Chains A and B, each alone.
Chain A
Amino acid sequence: MVVHRVDETSVDRIFSALADATRRDIVTRVLREKSSVSALADRYDMTFAAVQKHVAVLERAELVSKERRGREQLVTGDVQTIRAAARLLGEYEAIWRGRISLIDEILAEPTEGDVP
């Protein structure tokens, strides 16, 4: 298995960046298509400055990057970092989901004394 390693500071940054629902939504959106900060501001009914702040947090966590196109700044998602974050957040959950479905199977078995 190839492990995309991220150091502890960046893990902290990724976790706190993704702890906010709006920021998670921005990441999802800009992964689909690049979007300008002003287009995002319209979408969330937020001020340009508020969205700019969210984007800056995501940028520091390297979840998104910005590029200038004319007068606009386009935000785009960083697939590598997002994949690493998804792995960190998800694998422990996957372990427990696996365990719980096995417990379910054990509990579904007839116990001694039950009429078959």
Chain B
Amino acid sequence: MTVVSTTKDPEALRFTIVADFAAPPARVWQVWADARQLERWWGPPTWPATFTRHEMVLGGISEYYMTGPEGEKAHGWWETVAVQPPRTFEFDDGFADENGDRDATMPVVRAQVELEDTTDGTRMSITSRFASTEHMEQLTNMGMVEGMTEAMGQIDAILAET
């Protein structure tokens, strides 16, 4: 299991996930910087991502779409807010319409990625900040992935019984 911890801070609308990888930071950086590698993991397996533009420089724009099981497309964009290879990357992640234009009615998440050396690889921390609970709810209601949280694991087990 590579996920070390997850932290939810509902009051600050922040979610942090920390994972360890058995590869050096320069290698882990590539899964973000190389669009061909990035598109293999950004979308859920049933909604693979295709990046048509990817600029990991300050103010740079990335554009992508995810293709659903019925061939439907969901477009998105990133804007790089801070970048320092191979250590930190901060970006805004939002939705776009079918022409790739930003959708102002959909939530934007600010994500901060940190890569640190460990004795046998890299520790990656990702903090996602939501603008409001409404936005967080919109995102979780997108229904791309079904899942329950570890912190609520006990409650989950009981719900399964009821």
Q: Which residues of A contact B139 (CB under 8 A)?
A: 91-92
Instruction: Among B11, B22, B126, point to the contact of A107 (Cβ < 8 A).
Output: B22
A100 and chain B: residue at smallest CB distance:
B19
> Could you tell me if A97 and B3 are in contact, using CB atoms closer than 8 angstroms?
yes
Residue tally, chain B, CB below 8 Å to A: 48
Distance in angstroms from A76 CB to nearest chain B CB is 12
Verify if A45 is at the interface (C-beta below 8 Å from B): no
Minimum C-beta distance from A28 to chain B (A): 5
Distance (Å) between the CB of A29 and the closest chain B CB?
Answer: 10
Is A1 in contact with B147, judged by CB distance below 8 angstroms?
no
CB pair B10 A19 closer than 8 Å = yes
> If the complex has contacts A86-B156, A99-B42, A107-B21, are A15 and B10 also in contact, measured as CB distance less than 8 A?
yes
Supposing A31-B158, A92-B139 touch, asked if A106 and B149 sit within 8 A by C-beta, the answer is: no
| Given known A18-B10, A93-B6, contact A86–B19 (CB-CB < 8 A) | no
Q: Which residues of B contact A15 (CB under 8 A)?
A: 10-11, 133
A111: chain B residues at CB < 8 Å are: 27
Q: Which of A8, A11, A98, A100 has the most CB of B within 10 A?
A: A100
Q: Is A115 located at the chain interface by the 8 A CB criterion?
A: no
A79 at the interface (CB under 8 A from B): yes
* Residue B146 is within 8 A (CB to CB) of chain A in the complex: yes
B162 touches A3 (CB 8 A): no
Q: In the complex, which residues 13-53 of chain A have their Cβ closer than 8 Å to any Cβ of chain B?
A: 15-16, 18-19, 24, 27-28, 31-32
Q: Which residues of B contact A (CB under 8 A)?
A: 2-3, 6, 8, 10-11, 15, 17, 19, 21-23, 27-28, 31, 37, 40-42, 44-45, 124, 126, 128, 132-134, 136-137, 139-141, 143-152, 154-156, 158-159, 162
